[in-house]
Amino acid sequence: MRIFPFKTNLWDRFFYGISIMFGLHLIWVRFLEQYVPLYVATVGSLIFLAILVITG
């Protein structure tokens, strides 16, 4: 099972995952930090990053 519809290597998946993590944190700080702490976004995005790098 692949997440991206194109062929990627390990470093591509890592870069895309970090970029998505950065964007998620920006959106989280803008809209959700009043209600849910930022570490919830960090834990969730690290889990997503691990799944992305492994399955790619």
Higher pLDDT, 3 or 9: 9
Burial string for 2-34 (b: 16+ CB within 10 Å, else e) reads eeeeeebeeeebeebbeeebeeeeeebeeeeee
* The predicted structure's pLDDT at residue 3: 80
Query: Predicted confidence band at 49 (pLDDT cuts at 50, 70, 90)?
Result: very high
Contact 52, 11 (CB under 8 A): no
**Residue closest to 20 by CA, chosen among 53, 31, 37:** 53
Mean pLDDT value of segment 23-30: 95
Under the banding of pLDDT at 50, 70 and 90, the label for residue 56 is confident
- Give the tokens for residue 48: 């997503």
The pTM of the whole model exceeds 0.75: yes
Mean of pLDDT values over 22-40: 94
